[in-house]
Amino acid sequence: MAETPRRRRPDRPVRQDPFDGLTPLDFVAPHGTWPEGPFVRAVANRLGRDVPVEQREAADRAAMLAEEAVHELAEEVAVHLRWRRRMKVPASTVARHAGVSRARIAAFEHGTNWPRWDLLMRLRVLRDTYEADD
């Protein structure tokens, strides 16, 4: 029987931070919905209690920045979803006009992945273009 290969440990320490593995959806409370909320402090909850005070303060500031970014992203998604409902534009049409995949639009709308900056710009331009055409 052939041996199964084992995962090799890296030669040097691998940097891990509290953001590893989180998606926007992880910031939503268990009884909430994306993008409406309510939101939880997902990063702050992942910080270890044994962190020294100086590092804890820096980590808390970084956590607050991340959580503010999630709130801003949720607002952007809410604006996008309101626009889609008002204009009655299907996601496939949005994807086609924005030049991105339907999966990328779905991940943005459902909070299952962090969007790249270009997606936000593409969607803003698309909304402005649609409203100018009306």
Mean pLDDT (the chain, rounded): 85
pLDDT given at position 76: 95
Higher pLDDT, 42 or 4: 42
Question: What is the rounded distance in angstroms from the CA atom of residue 39 to the CA atom of residue 24?
Answer: 10
pLDDT band at 4 (very low <50, low <70, confident <90, very high): low
Long-range contacts of 67-73 (CB under 8 A, 24+ apart): 67/27, 67/39, 67/41, 67/42, 67/43, 70/24, 70/27, 70/39, 71/39, 73/24, 73/35, 73/115
37-45: average pLDDT: 84
Burial of 10 from C-beta contacts in 10 A (0-12 / 13-18 / 19+):
exposed
